[in-house]
Protein backbone atom coordinates (compact mmCIF):
# COMPACT_ATOMS: atom_id res chain seq x y z
CA UNK A 1 0.00 0.00 0.00
CA UNK A 2 1.27 3.45 -0.84
CA UNK A 3 2.49 5.37 2.24
CA UNK A 4 1.07 8.69 0.98
CA UNK A 5 -2.58 7.57 0.75
CA UNK A 6 -4.87 9.97 2.60
CA UNK A 7 -6.95 8.49 5.48
CA UNK A 8 -10.14 9.77 3.85
CA UNK A 9 -9.56 7.24 1.08
CA UNK A 10 -10.16 4.51 3.67
CA UNK A 11 -13.38 6.24 4.72
CA UNK A 12 -14.58 6.16 1.10
CA UNK A 13 -13.68 2.49 0.78
CA UNK A 14 -15.55 1.78 4.00
CA UNK A 15 -18.64 3.55 2.68
CA UNK A 16 -18.50 1.66 -0.62
CA UNK A 17 -18.35 -1.59 1.34
CA UNK A 18 -21.51 -0.58 3.24
CA UNK A 19 -23.27 0.16 -0.06
CA UNK A 20 -22.38 -3.31 -1.33
CA UNK A 21 -23.82 -4.81 1.87
CA UNK A 22 -27.09 -2.97 1.21
CA UNK A 23 -27.13 -4.48 -2.29
CA UNK A 24 -26.34 -7.94 -0.84
CA UNK A 25 -23.05 -8.16 -2.75
CA UNK A 26 -21.17 -9.47 0.25
CA UNK A 27 -17.95 -10.54 -1.45
CA UNK A 28 -17.41 -7.08 -2.94
CA UNK A 29 -18.22 -5.56 0.45
CA UNK A 30 -15.61 -7.76 2.11
CA UNK A 31 -13.00 -6.67 -0.44
CA UNK A 32 -13.54 -2.97 0.24
CA UNK A 33 -13.75 -3.42 4.02
CA UNK A 34 -10.42 -5.24 4.07
CA UNK A 35 -8.78 -2.52 1.96
CA UNK A 36 -10.10 0.15 4.33
CA UNK A 37 -8.88 -1.83 7.36
CA UNK A 38 -5.40 -2.18 5.88
CA UNK A 39 -5.10 1.57 5.29
CA UNK A 40 -6.41 2.47 8.73
CA UNK A 41 -4.11 0.05 10.51
CA UNK A 42 -1.12 1.63 8.77
CA UNK A 43 -2.26 5.21 9.29
CA UNK A 44 -3.71 5.07 12.80
CA UNK A 45 -2.38 1.90 14.39
CA UNK A 46 -4.42 -0.97 15.89
CA UNK A 47 -5.97 1.02 18.78
CA UNK A 48 -7.93 3.70 16.95
CA UNK A 49 -11.65 4.39 16.83
CA UNK A 50 -11.83 4.18 13.02
CA UNK A 51 -10.13 0.78 13.13
CA UNK A 52 -12.80 -0.36 15.59
CA UNK A 53 -15.45 0.93 13.19
CA UNK A 54 -14.14 -1.21 10.34
CA UNK A 55 -13.90 -4.23 12.66
CA UNK A 56 -17.58 -3.78 13.54
CA UNK A 57 -18.50 -3.64 9.85
CA UNK A 58 -16.58 -6.87 9.25
CA UNK A 59 -18.26 -8.42 12.29
CA UNK A 60 -21.68 -7.72 10.75
CA UNK A 61 -20.58 -8.83 7.29
CA UNK A 62 -19.16 -12.18 8.41
CA UNK A 63 -22.25 -12.76 10.50
CA UNK A 64 -24.38 -12.33 7.37
CA UNK A 65 -22.11 -14.74 5.53
CA UNK A 66 -22.45 -17.22 8.44
CA UNK A 67 -18.68 -17.19 8.98
CA UNK A 68 -19.09 -17.33 12.74
CA UNK A 69 -15.43 -17.74 13.71
CA UNK A 70 -14.27 -14.81 11.64
CA UNK A 71 -17.21 -12.75 12.81
CA UNK A 72 -16.46 -13.39 16.49
CA UNK A 73 -12.81 -12.61 15.94
CA UNK A 74 -13.62 -9.20 14.42
CA UNK A 75 -16.13 -8.53 17.20
CA UNK A 76 -13.54 -9.26 19.91
CA UNK A 77 -10.96 -7.03 18.16
CA UNK A 78 -13.48 -4.18 18.01
CA UNK A 79 -14.24 -4.82 21.69
CA UNK A 80 -10.55 -4.60 22.56
CA UNK A 81 -10.14 -1.25 20.81
CA UNK A 82 -13.31 0.22 22.36
CA UNK A 83 -12.32 -0.85 25.87
CA UNK A 84 -8.93 0.79 25.36
CA UNK A 85 -10.51 4.08 24.20
CA UNK A 86 -13.72 4.34 26.27
CA UNK A 87 -13.05 1.98 29.14
CA UNK A 88 -15.11 -1.02 30.21
CA UNK A 89 -18.04 1.04 31.50
CA UNK A 90 -19.27 2.53 28.21
CA UNK A 91 -22.32 2.05 26.04
CA UNK A 92 -20.17 1.28 22.97
CA UNK A 93 -18.65 -1.70 24.77
CA UNK A 94 -22.11 -2.76 25.99
CA UNK A 95 -23.50 -2.79 22.44
CA UNK A 96 -20.67 -5.04 21.22
CA UNK A 97 -21.20 -7.40 24.16
CA UNK A 98 -24.91 -7.59 23.29
CA UNK A 99 -24.23 -8.35 19.63
CA UNK A 100 -21.69 -11.04 20.51
CA UNK A 101 -24.17 -12.60 22.91
CA UNK A 102 -26.93 -12.56 20.31
CA UNK A 103 -24.61 -14.19 17.78
CA UNK A 104 -23.59 -16.96 20.20
CA UNK A 105 -27.23 -17.57 21.04
CA UNK A 106 -28.05 -17.99 17.35
CA UNK A 107 -25.17 -20.47 17.02
CA UNK A 108 -26.44 -22.53 19.97
CA UNK A 109 -23.64 -21.47 22.34
CA UNK A 110 -25.92 -20.56 25.22
CA UNK A 111 -23.25 -20.42 27.96
CA UNK A 112 -21.02 -18.01 26.05
CA UNK A 113 -24.02 -15.96 25.03
CA UNK A 114 -25.07 -15.65 28.67
CA UNK A 115 -21.61 -14.41 29.70
CA UNK A 116 -21.61 -11.67 27.05
CA UNK A 117 -25.18 -10.61 27.87
CA UNK A 118 -24.53 -10.45 31.61
CA UNK A 119 -21.59 -8.10 30.97
CA UNK A 120 -23.79 -5.91 28.77
CA UNK A 121 -26.51 -5.90 31.46
CA UNK A 122 -24.13 -4.90 34.25
CA UNK A 123 -22.73 -2.00 32.22
CA UNK A 124 -26.19 -0.68 31.39
CA UNK A 125 -27.40 -0.99 34.97
CA UNK A 126 -24.39 1.09 36.09
CA UNK A 127 -24.89 3.74 33.37
CA UNK A 128 -28.64 3.81 32.74
CA UNK A 129 -30.31 2.08 35.67
CA UNK A 130 -32.23 -1.15 35.82
CA UNK A 131 -35.55 0.32 34.65
CA UNK A 132 -34.19 1.76 31.39
CA UNK A 133 -35.58 0.22 28.20
CA UNK A 134 -32.11 -0.72 26.89
CA UNK A 135 -31.32 -2.51 30.15
CA UNK A 136 -34.65 -4.32 30.09
CA UNK A 137 -33.97 -5.44 26.50
CA UNK A 138 -30.78 -7.22 27.59
CA UNK A 139 -32.54 -8.71 30.64
CA UNK A 140 -35.22 -10.09 28.32
CA UNK A 141 -32.52 -11.79 26.21
CA UNK A 142 -30.98 -13.35 29.34
CA UNK A 143 -34.38 -14.63 30.49
CA UNK A 144 -34.88 -16.13 27.04
CA UNK A 145 -31.64 -18.08 27.49
CA UNK A 146 -32.83 -19.46 30.82
CA UNK A 147 -36.09 -20.70 29.30
CA UNK A 148 -36.14 -24.30 28.10
CA UNK A 149 -35.64 -24.76 24.36
CA UNK A 150 -38.80 -25.25 22.32
CA UNK A 151 -39.76 -28.83 21.51
CA UNK A 152 -38.76 -30.14 18.09
CA UNK A 153 -41.43 -29.98 15.41
CA UNK A 154 -43.50 -33.13 14.94
CA UNK A 155 -42.51 -35.45 12.12
CA UNK A 156 -44.34 -34.91 8.85
CA UNK A 157 -47.44 -36.99 8.39
CA UNK A 158 -49.46 -37.86 5.34
CA UNK A 159 -52.41 -35.52 4.93
CA UNK A 160 -55.49 -36.79 3.22
CA UNK A 161 -56.51 -35.17 -0.03
CA UNK A 162 -59.83 -34.21 1.52
CA UNK A 163 -58.06 -32.28 4.33
CA UNK A 164 -55.84 -30.47 1.83
CA UNK A 165 -58.79 -29.33 -0.24
CA UNK A 166 -60.74 -28.44 2.88
CA UNK A 167 -57.87 -26.17 3.97
CA UNK A 168 -58.00 -24.59 0.52
CA UNK A 169 -61.67 -23.70 1.18
CA UNK A 170 -63.06 -26.21 -1.32
CA UNK A 171 -66.19 -28.00 -0.12
CA UNK A 172 -66.47 -31.72 -0.64
CA UNK A 173 -69.93 -33.25 -0.56
CA UNK A 174 -70.81 -36.60 0.87
CA UNK A 175 -71.22 -38.04 -2.61
CA UNK A 176 -67.64 -37.14 -3.46
CA UNK A 177 -66.42 -38.71 -0.23
CA UNK A 178 -68.23 -41.87 -1.13
CA UNK A 179 -66.42 -42.28 -4.43
CA UNK A 180 -63.61 -44.80 -4.60
CA UNK A 181 -60.15 -44.09 -5.93
CA UNK A 182 -57.85 -41.12 -5.74
CA UNK A 183 -58.20 -40.06 -9.39
CA UNK A 184 -61.97 -40.18 -9.26
CA UNK A 185 -61.97 -38.04 -6.15
CA UNK A 186 -59.64 -35.50 -7.74
CA UNK A 187 -61.80 -35.34 -10.86
CA UNK A 188 -64.91 -34.89 -8.77
CA UNK A 189 -63.27 -32.07 -6.80
CA UNK A 190 -62.18 -30.34 -10.00
CA UNK A 191 -65.69 -30.64 -11.44
CA UNK A 192 -67.14 -29.33 -8.22
CA UNK A 193 -64.76 -26.36 -8.32
CA UNK A 194 -65.88 -25.60 -11.88
CA UNK A 195 -69.51 -25.81 -10.78
CA UNK A 196 -68.78 -23.36 -7.98
CA UNK A 197 -67.18 -20.94 -10.42
CA UNK A 198 -70.14 -21.19 -12.79
CA UNK A 199 -72.56 -20.68 -9.91
CA UNK A 200 -70.60 -17.67 -8.68
CA UNK A 201 -70.56 -16.12 -12.17
CA UNK A 202 -74.30 -16.73 -12.54
CA UNK A 203 -74.95 -15.10 -9.17
CA UNK A 204 -72.84 -12.10 -10.15
CA UNK A 205 -74.73 -11.78 -13.41
CA UNK A 206 -78.06 -11.98 -11.61
CA UNK A 207 -76.97 -9.29 -9.16
CA UNK A 208 -75.95 -7.02 -12.04
CA UNK A 209 -79.33 -7.52 -13.75
CA UNK A 210 -81.15 -6.82 -10.51
CA UNK A 211 -79.09 -3.71 -9.92
CA UNK A 212 -79.82 -2.45 -13.45
CA UNK A 213 -83.56 -3.07 -12.90
CA UNK A 214 -83.48 -1.15 -9.64
CA UNK A 215 -81.80 1.75 -11.39
CA UNK A 216 -84.47 1.82 -14.12
CA UNK A 217 -87.19 1.64 -11.48
CA UNK A 218 -85.67 4.56 -9.64
CA UNK A 219 -85.44 6.56 -12.87
CA UNK A 220 -89.15 5.90 -13.61
CA UNK A 221 -90.15 6.87 -10.07
CA UNK A 222 -88.23 10.12 -10.24
CA UNK A 223 -89.62 10.92 -13.69
CA UNK A 224 -93.18 10.24 -12.61
CA UNK A 225 -92.95 12.23 -9.41
CA UNK A 226 -91.10 15.02 -11.16
CA UNK A 227 -94.04 15.44 -13.62
CA UNK A 228 -96.58 15.04 -10.85
CA UNK A 229 -94.84 17.80 -8.92
CA UNK A 230 -95.15 20.17 -11.87
CA UNK A 231 -98.83 19.30 -12.34
CA UNK A 232 -99.52 19.88 -8.66
CA UNK A 233 -97.73 23.22 -8.80
CA UNK A 234 -99.81 24.34 -11.79
CA UNK A 235 -103.06 23.36 -10.04
CA UNK A 236 -102.09 25.21 -6.88
CA UNK A 237 -101.05 28.26 -8.88
CA UNK A 238 -104.41 28.28 -10.72
CA UNK A 239 -106.32 27.98 -7.45
CA UNK A 240 -104.33 30.78 -5.88
CA UNK A 241 -104.91 33.06 -8.91
CA UNK A 242 -108.67 32.39 -8.96
CA UNK A 243 -109.02 33.03 -5.26
CA UNK A 244 -107.04 36.25 -5.49
CA UNK A 245 -109.26 37.49 -8.35
CA UNK A 246 -112.37 36.63 -6.38
CA UNK A 247 -111.15 38.50 -3.34
CA UNK A 248 -110.18 41.49 -5.47
CA UNK A 249 -113.65 41.70 -7.06
CA UNK A 250 -115.36 41.49 -3.69
CA UNK A 251 -113.20 44.34 -2.38
CA UNK A 252 -114.08 46.53 -5.36
CA UNK A 253 -117.82 45.83 -4.94
CA UNK A 254 -117.72 46.61 -1.25
CA UNK A 255 -115.97 49.92 -1.86
CA UNK A 256 -118.39 50.97 -4.64
CA UNK A 257 -121.48 50.11 -2.58
CA UNK A 258 -120.29 51.90 0.54
CA UNK A 259 -122.29 55.17 1.37
CA UNK A 260 -120.39 58.48 1.58
CA UNK A 261 -119.95 59.70 5.15
CA UNK A 262 -121.90 62.89 6.23
CA UNK A 263 -119.61 65.62 7.42
CA UNK A 264 -121.23 67.82 10.13
CA UNK A 265 -121.37 71.54 9.29
CA UNK A 266 -122.27 72.85 12.78
CA UNK A 267 -120.91 72.14 16.18
CA UNK A 268 -122.92 71.05 19.19
CA UNK A 269 -123.34 74.73 20.24
CA UNK A 270 -124.72 75.73 16.84
CA UNK A 271 -121.65 77.54 15.60
CA UNK A 272 -120.70 76.92 11.99
CA UNK A 273 -117.65 74.69 11.41
CA UNK A 274 -115.18 76.14 8.90
CA UNK A 275 -114.41 73.98 5.91
CA UNK A 276 -111.03 72.17 5.85
CA UNK A 277 -108.18 73.97 4.14
CA UNK A 278 -107.64 73.14 0.49
CA UNK A 279 -104.94 70.61 -0.34
CA UNK A 280 -101.84 71.98 -1.92
Whether the pTM exceeds 0.85: the reply is no
Query: pLDDT value at position 1?
Result: 44
| Mean per-residue pLDDT, 180-192 | 60
Enumerate the β-bridge partners of residue 272: 266
Instruction: Output b/e per residue, 207-231; b: 16+ Cβ within 10 A.
Output: eeeeeeeeeeeeeeeeeeeeeeeee
Which residue has better confidence, 220 or 9?
A: 9
Residues 204-230: pLDDT tens digits?
A: 887 888 887 777 777 666 566 655 555
Find the Cα–Cα–Cα–Cα dihedral 170, 176, 180, 184, rounded to 10°.
-60
| Mean per-residue pLDDT, 58-78 | 90
User: How many percent of the chain have pLDDT more than 90?
Assistant: 22
Residues 135-167: pLDDT tens digits?
A: 898 888 888 877 666 677 776 655 555 565 565
User: Of 69, 57, 3, which is closest to residue 30 (Cα–Cα)?
Assistant: 57
| Mean per-residue pLDDT, 54-81 | 91
What top-level class would CATH report for the domain 7-146? mainly alpha
Rounded to the nearest integer, the mean pLDDT of the chain is 76
pLDDT at 250 over 80: no
User: Of 118, 125, 81, which is closest to residue 101 (Cα–Cα)?
Assistant: 118
Amino acid sequence: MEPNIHPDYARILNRIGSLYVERVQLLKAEEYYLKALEIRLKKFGPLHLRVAQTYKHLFTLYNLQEKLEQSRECGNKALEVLRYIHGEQSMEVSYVYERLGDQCNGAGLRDEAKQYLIKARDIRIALLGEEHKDTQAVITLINGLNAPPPPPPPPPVCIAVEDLYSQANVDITSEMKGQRGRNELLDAIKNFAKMKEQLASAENKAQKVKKAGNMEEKKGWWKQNYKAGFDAANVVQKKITASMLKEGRSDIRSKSSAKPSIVPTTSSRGAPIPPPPPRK
